[in-house]
Structure 1
């Protein structure tokens, strides 16, 4: 797949432009409601799907299918991010009107870190093809581990990075609007929002360790890996505000995500024996996530969603 330099520049320009529009639209702190989140989600998903159509038109069905498979994998794994973000916001009691700003910079950092990971992964695969088998084994192990610990809850009070940061960085317990730093008694101190950002960025890096190898399972083309990842990540903020009040109902989602990771890991391990067609990957991934979501919603249909004010309140 021969991707000209101008195509990379054009994609980056679109991403930067959309981020600027999003930042301008949310320049003032306000609570993002379900309707606004749904509208932005529709925009981001439409953009991602449309770009896949361009790939399909320019490079054929195989490349288009690989892009959509990567997009679907990243979009699915991004839902797991939503769980963790909700936990972080609740732990720090982040007011809902400040959450978008944290997620904006979190997504910005995620794009940078993932670009670095993708570049490193592409170089490794190009020079050491056997790395794909290591990725495959890692994904199978990660999927099995996720399934075994699907009901475990994260205890942020025991997080070593957070405890170290709070001991090291001068801080205040009070929020100062959307500011990450504030001046008190003549010195700059970190607000709780700074530590929230640290945890969000750390979470993004941890999830990238799973998602990047997973996308390499369906395509080794760096352009497709990056674009499918980027367009899926761009809608993460809107996805959070759309699903934040429903996360307690997705009780089987982690099992579905675990199945996806095991499948793509097995797909990598079988590369030397049999190459699973991309359409099969799309069907299996979509089936795993759809089944997990539908099963979850049916099992919890009598559950009353928590009021919005309680999420991150």
Structure 2
């Protein structure tokens, strides 16, 4: 049950819908490469809007929902940045022309929002009826965190899933793009363009992203309104962030470690909350374990800010150190 007044929720959802349509379905459909200044202004606008939105929640509903929103938004935004690595790989693997990448991202992000909406509804229904699902969410996040750490340093590659491999066998697909079109004519015959495969690759990848992000946000808040709005704000401006970071993504070396800390922390928090609301007969006879401490909301926000901030700062410092160390060698040559 949300602590936010209904009129505020209705107005907020309408405004967010307008933001989303303008950001992805109007601006995102213009096939061009945005400039650095355009990207900075676009991202800055939505960051400021998120900060203002959290302040408004604080005013109308109190500090707890506001801190939950800020925590959820920062977590989802950080995970979205990490997801850009995969988008870069997919774009390169399918040789998407640079001028079309913005359009592809707009469609992919739209699919991501729809999928997350479905996952949020399913997650809300599950946690309302079955508190033990927190155990599953918690251990899944711990596994995800471990996987991030153990796979660090390995070269990421995109591998087509079974759906796309089957698609290539059953329908004719050309090797060249025809603008934004999904269908084209080649030598008098109708073919699908690689754009169809790219959309399927982005969409099926978005499903895997949702498996990470939705349990993470439910570990910070149970309010469906906060869960949904934090996800929307995390996705707004993401395509501009993609172009702004560009080749810099590979320089954020320690970001996966920071995200692993965040996910592990939320995983432990979820398991502790599950023990508080325990209904499983083989754990303390189905009675809650009141001795297990509760982690306050402000502590979650602090851990998220420190983990992601330190990881980003360490990445920037290492990148600068490597650049300065390589400079003298380049000068000698």
Structure 2 gaps, min length 5: 277-291, 325-333
| Greater relative contact order, per chain length (Cα 8 Å cut-off, separation 6+) | 1
- Are the counterparts in 2 of residues 52 and 68 from structure 1 also a CA contact under 8 Å? yes
Q: 2:312: which partner in 1?
A: 293
**2: CA distance between counterparts of 1:50 and 1:157?**
40
Q: Which of 265, 288, 301 is equivalent to 1:282?
A: 301
Shift of 1:29: 1.4
Inter-CA distance 49–183: structure 2 relative to 1 (3 Å threshold): farther
Q: 1:311: which partner in 2?
A: none
Larger radius of gyration: 2
- Are the counterparts in 2 of residues 82 and 244 from structure 1 also a CA contact under 8 Å? no
Shift of 1:233: 1.2
Shift of 1:202: 1.6
Q: TM-score, normalised by structure 2?
A: 0.86
Shift of 1:7: 4.4
Q: Which of 13, 25, 28 is equivalent to 2:27?
A: 25
Shift of 1:214: 0.5
**1: CA distance between counterparts of 2:28 and 2:72?**
29
CA deviation digits over 1:273-296, x for unaligned, max 9?
A: 222111111111111111111111
Q: Which of 192, 195, 200 is equivalent to 1:193?
A: 195
Inter-CA distance 26–208: structure 2 relative to 1 (3 Å threshold): closer
Q: 2:39: which partner in 1?
A: 37
Q: Which of 187, 204, 218 is equivalent to 1:202?
A: 204
Structure 1 gaps, min length 5: 305-313
Q: 1:16: which partner in 2?
A: 17
More displaced 10-residue stretch of structure 1: 175-184 or 237-246:
175-184
CA deviation digits over 1:119-160, x for unaligned, max 9?
A: 000000000011112211111111111111122333334543
- Are the counterparts in 2 of residues 40 and 238 from structure 1 also a CA contact under 8 Å? yes
Inter-CA distance 230–19: structure 2 relative to 1 (3 Å threshold): closer
**2: CA distance between counterparts of 1:158 and 1:114?**
22
- Are the counterparts in 1 of residues 29 and 102 from structure 2 also a CA contact under 8 Å? no
Q: 2:162: which partner in 1?
A: 160
CA deviation digits over 1:80-124, x for unaligned, max 9?
A: 111111111111121111011111111111111101000000000
Inter-CA distance 165–46: structure 2 relative to 1 (3 Å threshold): farther
Q: Aligned-residue CA RMSD in angstroms?
A: 1.9
1:181 aligns with 2:180: no
Q: 1:255: which partner in 2?
A: 257
Q: TM-score, normalised by structure 1?
A: 0.91
**1: CA distance between counterparts of 2:313 and 2:99?**
31
- Are the counterparts in 2 of residues 260 and 288 from structure 1 also a CA contact under 8 Å? yes
Q: 2:271: which partner in 1?
A: 269
Inter-CA distance 135–28: structure 2 relative to 1 (3 Å threshold): closer
Q: Which of 143, 146, 152 is equivalent to 1:144?
A: 146
- Are the counterparts in 1 of residues 5 and 60 from structure 2 also a CA contact under 8 Å? no
More displaced 10-residue stretch of structure 1: 45-54 or 261-270:
45-54
